[in-house]
């Protein structure tokens, strides 16, 4: 997988670069095959910032504009002041994944639940116009994720400068969006603004599996980071990267309710189901009770797990409790057994 990913990304760079740039590419690419971080630096160099600035938008929802979003822009104080944004309230930034946009369930489902139960700001970034490429160009979309994340990070910094409490900022991302969430938080952190929380929903494995912490979601991106893995080592990363790591139904087993079709359909179902788990967890009446484990709960390499009341999976995870956690879910809603 690592070799195929590297080859694909190099081909993307070659096809997106100009002939004048090829000499430096010829020198750098052999090194990049052995250094994924250098490869990401090359991609960052070749992807124009204008592509991101012209194709990434920010939409704000609050209880005052539940259905019709208000658009925000980085460093535009007039637009922010004229919106329903309230800097004294908690801010949720919900980032969609690959081949979708801000109207996807991963963004809108969470938005609806958050505003049903909480008086908060919800911002849904949209990079859908540069996210509908054929499957092979998933690699090019992924290549843009670093810049997309830092662009979102600029918005985060702007909101904090306008009075938002960084500890009340929570970024949630699904799959590709999980790493974008990490990049956004990293950017804010680089400006001395450590945000409160980042949640990764089955953080994408292809392209990111060989990266160092700088070029993927990492435990140090926020004061608290939590990840939920539903296709561990397949579509989701195959190693824990958050402070709190949750493994519904364990590793090595499909998700309940995802048992029809071929491998791609079953694994794709599990990769999407993590969104449903998280959305359900926003409801205060839901409770994804967990067991604490001394390692990743893998059916092929059993670990010791024991009941705990110290934390829950999802929105109400205890920010003071890191570790590895296992739980069982139902095959149909409600998924929680609490």
Task: For residue range 102-117, list pLDDT tens digits in order.
Answer: 999 999 999 999 999 9
C-alpha dihedral, 333 to 263 to 181 to 183, nearest 10°: 170
Span 13-66, pLDDT tens digits = 444 444 344 334 343 434 344 577 888 888 888 889 999 999 999 999 999 999
User: Model's pTM, two decimal places?
Assistant: 0.90
Element (H, E) at 102: none
Helices (H), 191-241: none
Span 240-299, pLDDT tens digits = 999 999 999 999 778 999 988 899 999 999 999 999 999 999 999 999 999 999 999 998
Lowest-confidence region among 4-18, 94-108, 144-158, 307-321: 4-18
Map residue 258 onto helix, strand or coil. Answer: coil
C-alpha closest to that of 35 among 252, 257, 210: 210
Alpha carbon 243 to chain centroid, angstroms: 15
The sheet that has 305-312: what strands, in order across it? 70-72, 57-61, 121-126, 91-95, 169-174, 197-201, 224-228, 244-248, 323-327, 289-293, 305-312
Element (H, E) at 261: none
Q: How far apart are CA 285 and CA 240, in angstroms?
A: 28
Please, are residues 296 and 304 in contact by the beta-carbon 8 Å criterion?
no
Q: How far apart are CA 103 and CA 96, in angstroms?
A: 9
DSSP 8-state class, residue 314: S
In percent, how much of the chain has pLDDT > 70?
88
Map residue 293 onto helix, strand or coil. Answer: strand
Quote the pLDDT of residue 45. Answer: 85
Span 94-104, pLDDT tens digits = 999 999 999 99
Please, are residues 219 and 237 in contact by the beta-carbon 8 Å criterion?
no
Q: How far apart are CA 278 and CA 33, in angstroms?
A: 36
Q: Which residue has the tokens 């195929």?
A: 4
Q: Which residues of 51-74 are buried (b: 16+ CB within 10 A; e: fewer)?
A: ebeebbbbbbbbbeeeeebbebeb
Q: Which residues contact 336 (CB under 8 A, 6 or more apart)?
A: 280, 281, 286, 287, 288, 289, 329, 330
Quote the pLDDT of residue 34. Answer: 52
Q: What are φ and ψ of residue 174, in 5° steps?
A: -105, 130
């Amino acid at each position: 997988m690592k070799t195929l990913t590297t080859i694909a990304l190099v081909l993307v760079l070659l096809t997106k670069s100009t002939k004048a740039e090829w000499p430096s590419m010829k020198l750098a690419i052999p090194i990049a095959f052995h250094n994924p971080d250098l490869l990401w630096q090359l991609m960052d160099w070749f992807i124009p910032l204008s592509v991101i600035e012209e194709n990434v938008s920010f939409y704000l929802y609050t209880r005052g504009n539940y259905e019709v979003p208000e658009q925000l822009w980085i460093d535009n104080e007039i637009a922010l002041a004229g919106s329903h944004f309230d800097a004294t309230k908690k801010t949720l930034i919900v980032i969609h994944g690959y081949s979708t946009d801000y109207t996807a369930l991963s963004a809108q489902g969470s938005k609806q639940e958050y505003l049903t139960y909480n008086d908060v700001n919800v911002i849904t970034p949209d990079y859908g116009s540069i996210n509908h490429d054929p499957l092979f160009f998933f690699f090019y979309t992924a290549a843009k994720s670093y810049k997309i994340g830092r662009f979102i990070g600029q918005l985060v910094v702007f909101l904090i400068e306008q009075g938002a409490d960084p500890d009340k900022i929570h970024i949630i991302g699904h799959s590709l969006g999980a790493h974008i969430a990490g990049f956004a938080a990293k950017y804010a952190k680089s400006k001395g603004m450590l945000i409160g929380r980042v949640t990764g929903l089955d953080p994408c494995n292809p392209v990111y599996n060989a990266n160092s912490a700088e070029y993927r979601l990492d435990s140090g991106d926020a004061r608290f980071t939590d990840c939920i893995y539903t296709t561990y080592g397949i579509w989701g990363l195959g190693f824990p990267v958050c402070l709190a790591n949750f493994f519904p139904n364990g590793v090595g087993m499909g998700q309940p309710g995802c048992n029809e079709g071929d491998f791609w359909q079953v694994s794709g179902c599990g990769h999407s189901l993590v969104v449903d788990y998280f959305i359900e967890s926003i409801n205060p009446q839901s409770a994804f009770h967990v067991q604490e484990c001394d390692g990743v709960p893998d059916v092929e390499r059993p670990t010791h797990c024991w009941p705990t009341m110290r934390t829950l999976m999802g929105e109400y995870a205890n920010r003071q409790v890191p570790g590895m956690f296992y739980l069982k879910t139902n095959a149909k809603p409600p998924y929680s057994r609490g």
